[in-house]
Amino acid sequence: MTTLTAPAPAPGTSRPRFWSDTAALTGRSLQHVTRSVDTIVTTAVTPVAIMLLFVYVLGGAIDTGDVPYLTYMLPGILLITIASGVAYTSYRLFLDLQGGIFERFQSMPIARSGVLWSHVLTSLVANAVSLAVVLAVALVMGFRTGADVGSWLAVVGILALFTLALTWLAVVAGLSAKTVDGASAFSYPLIFLPFVSSAFVPTDTMPTAVAWFAEHQPVTSIVDTIRSLFLEQPVGSDIWVALAWCAVILVGAFAWATALYRRRIR
């Protein structure tokens, strides 16, 4: 394949070029995903397996009052789905770095930031599909909600913001990893985090120290907000805490990823 060697754009690359370049690069990245649909299926398999295990095996021993256990734990399963999915962003980014794709893009007149944003946007699309699969399975299992359109839009918005925040963390991992395994291993703590939250059991059943951690970590406020929206209950201050956590993670990860990218790609 012929490599273009046009000079790199000046720092003042126009905004129209950024959007067009990002769109083109996102199309390239999405093509890779569609060629390996098993990636999305694999992302959804683990959360679905956990959901089946907790609902049909362990759920009967957990007291959630009048709330059906499937409805109670579904928000946590959705967050696990996202945590599983962003690992592939880190993995794909690492492979592009190792394969010299970034150096090739440097020689072309494209907006450099579009390279990272293409991976981020691909993550949003792929995770949206995985979340839809998990929700479809939950509906088959009996999940029902009377949430109105506004509540569903709020749920979608929170999940999208959480996905965006974790994806930028995945970009950090992909840019700094030394091996393929290291690129995706960062997601393991993220997958584990919902288990030490209010996602699967009420925090007041936990030992004091564990309960304190569970109540003050990001996942609990996000889970509680989504659960309240599904149950048509007031969300209270949880939604603001959830949004604040997502914003802090997003801003911090974005700044970190941008600094790493500039250091790696000069």
**pLDDT tens-digit profile of 191-221?**
899 999 999 999 988 999 999 999 999 999 9
pLDDT at 11: 40
Is residue 154 helix, strand or coil? helix
Q: Is the dihedral of CA 48, 51, 55, 61 positive or negative?
A: positive
More confident residue, 12 or 93: 93
* 110 closest CA partner among 3, 7, 261: 7
Q: Is residue 167's pLDDT more than 90?
A: yes
User: What is the model's pTM?
Assistant: 0.85
- The Cα 254–Cα 173 span in angstroms is 12
Q: Is the dihedral of CA 96, 102, 103, 105 positive or negative?
A: positive
pLDDT at 4: 39
∠ CA(46), CA(48), CA(52), 5° rounding? 115
Between helix 218-230 and helix 208-216 the angle, nearest 10°, is 70
Mean pLDDT of 180-188: 79
- For residues 217 and 197, the answer to whether their CB atoms sit within 8 Å is yes
255 — pLDDT class (breaks 50, 70, 90): very high
The letter for the amino acid at 60 is G
Q: Is residue 171's pLDDT more than 80?
A: yes
- The Cα 27–Cα 39 span in angstroms is 17
- The Cα 162–Cα 143 span in angstroms is 22
